[in-house]
Each structure stands twice: as structure tokens, then as C-alpha cells.
Amino acid sequence: MKNYTYRNVTLKEPLSFWSAFPVADQRFFWFDPIEQNIVMGCEKMETIDEKDISNAPFAFYTQPFFDQIKGKTWGSITKELVTFKHYYTVDLNNKEKNKLYSIALETLPTIVDQEIPEFHPHLKLLEKDKSEWEHLFQDIQDALSTQKIEKIVASQRITLKNLSGHFQFEGILKRLMKNNPQAFVFAYQKGDFVFCGASPEILVKKQGQKIMSYALAGTMSKGIKNASQLLLNDSKNRLEHQIVVKSIKEKMLKVSDEVNVSKIETVALKNVYHLRTQLSLIDKKASLIAWAKMLHPTPALGGFPQKDALHFIKIHEKHERGLYAAPCGLVKQNGDGTIIVGIRSALFTSEYLYAFAGCGIVSESDCHSEYEEIKLKLQTILEAL
């Protein structure tokens, strides 16, 4: 590891560390609900190759949904593995283990431990025509009717104009964690662009030789009576889910003859239930990032078969996905870590907020129900504002 020094520092408000770097060109925030920790990095050190991961305590990884990001909406955000000059880690189970890392000889700004004030930006929704969704849905049904494609994951983007002059991300992140305690809350800032959200979906987690992935597909509103049990027994959602399980398992079987597949279960989030199956194996060779590249995109994010579904999305979706539904996450010094998919997310710029949500469509899908599902998923971001 490069010349980092560290010391135990306990902040009553961990986001005070983030606040201490208001002009940082790059910084990231990461909350892991499984390990119950928070990791933040501020002031970019360098963009590295994976072989150099041991040079820093952590690195933050981003990979666009498609190979390239088109247009100017996403600024300079791209695929990269980045290390930082300063890190702050919070162990939510044992605050005495909190640590602040700084690269030697670098000046650390004053960190003022203070409460995060409530801030709700004044936003104007630039309405999106529902007929656009209806046309897209019909195009998808036409494609599915050929039986060449089994599933297509369509996404929508809504645009809100920021009338407040700025966004206060400390408050947004705090509300995302409070509202979504079972989700991975993340934020990645690069210049004037910030991508953040609360994702419930692990693309790949590496812990030593153990590799684990989620199949997360199938959704039902918590507002429906007995929703959890109804979801488990719903043929449309189970079909959508099994397509994802089958695809992930087939990719894993290329590496190992033995893949452990858990029993299908429902997972409860703030507004919805999802169907979830965990798949795992033992792998002594491939890295965390190699696995992310191998698994992305699962049929939960793109569709199935992959090639045909992605070709359809490229042609028919009018917005640039960028990092939406794409791999991002934390890589530890030893190569372990967790890479999620950037769903329940939004891109913030100085002037606009672009919120994304998607849903898997199969032949049994209903246009209105899928539209309502997208609106429900958008609430993850909208309720945090």
C-alpha cells in the first residue's frame, strides 16, 4: 500500500467528512447494508489498473451500461477504477473502529463534525408523455411475439429542473439510508456530475474464493394486500425471475461445475417486494472486476437473449443509460468487495436531475401495470429529495 497514514476518528455525523471536501473534483460515498459499514473517498489520487489495487485501502469502480456513453448528459463520467487521497470508514456496529486514512504529505481540510440540516430542493418536473411509454411497450411486445426474444428490460428517464441553485447531497444521502436500510446507498461525484441511488441488487460479491450474485427480478407493490405471497405465486413474475436465474447460472457454470442456488424468496424494500435468488460458487482465479464484466448485464437489467435484447434497447430507448443499471462498487485492497448495479438511481447536474427506473417485460406483461411499477421505483430517489 502506498504511504497512507491512518488514525481512529469518530464523527457523530459521518457525512461531515464528505462536507469537508465541497470543491473536490471526485469523491464517492458507499453504504453496505450487509457489512454495516460506510466508506467515503475524497480527492482523486489516480485512475489505476486492477493489478495496482493493493496500493490503496479501497478503490471505486464504475462501468457504463453499454461500452460507451454517448452525448454530453453524463459529462466526463466513464469506466474507471479510482483511488483517493483521503478515506473515512465507519463501522456501524463498532464506532471505535472508525478510521480516517490520508496519503502522507497531503493536507487534510478541517472536518467540522456537525448535524446535517434538512434541505429539500425546489424542483420542477418536466412532464414526460405517457404515450411515449405506450409506444415503447408495443414495440417490445412486437419483438417478443417473434419468439426470438424472451424478455426486454425497458427503462424510463424523468427530468426535473433544479430551481434551488444547488443540491445538498449530505441530506439526500442521509435520507436514502434512512428510507432504504436494506439497500446499497452510493454516490459518485465527478466534477459537476453526481450519480447516486439506493440499489438492492448485487451483481457480484467476492469474499476470498467465494463468489456470489443476486438474481433480483419480479416486483409487486407493498400496497397490495398479501403482496409477498402473491408475488411468490405470480406466474408472470416467476417467469421473469427464472430467466435471470437461468442466465446467471449458465455463466457461472462456465467457470465451475458446482453452482449453489438458493431457494427463491421475497425481499421487502420500502415500497415494493422483489423476488430474489442467491447464486454462489468457489473460484480461485477470476477477480471481482472480471466477474462483473462476465455477468453484466444480467437479464434483470437488459433482457434475454442478451445480444438481441441489448440491440433492441440501443435502437428504441431515446435516453442514454450511462451508469444507470450498470456495475459500480467498492473494491478492497485485497481484491475482495461488492459491485452492485446502479438502479433506483439518478444523475444530478448543476441544473437538472435525471431519475431512472426500469422494468422487465415478457409476453404476459401489462402496459399499465409496468408503467405503474416504474413510477413506484422512481419513488426511491424522489422521496429522498
> Which positions are annotated as active-site residues?
151, 201
Four-point Cα dihedral 309, 377, 363, 306, nearest 10: 20
Element (H, E) at 137: helix 130-145
CB 230 within 8 A of CB 224: yes
> Omega before 297 cis (within 30°)?
yes
Spatial separation of the C-alpha atoms in residues 173 and 308, rounded to whole Å: 36
Write the single-letter amino acid at 284. K
Angle CA 207–209–211, to nearest 5? 65
Three-state secondary-structure class, residue 50: helix
Cβ pair 202, 194 in contact under 8 A: no
CA-to-CA distance for 280 and 298, rounded, in angstroms? 15
- Return d(Cα 282, Cα 210) in angstroms, integer: 5
Cell numbers that stand for 257 in this block: 461445475
What are the two backbone dihedrals, phi and then psi, of residue 259, each rounded to the nearest 5 degrees? -120, 125
User: Taking a C-beta distance cutoff of 8 angstroms, is the pair 30, 285 a contact?
Assistant: no
Q: Are 342 and 194 in contact (CB under 8 A)?
A: no
Residues 60, 62: Cα–Cα separation, whole Å: 7
In order, the DSSP letters of 155-192 are EEEEEEEE-SSS--HHHHHHHHHHH-TTSEEEEEEETT
Length of the chain as a residue count: 385
Q: Any bridge partners for residue 38, and if so which? A: 31, 90
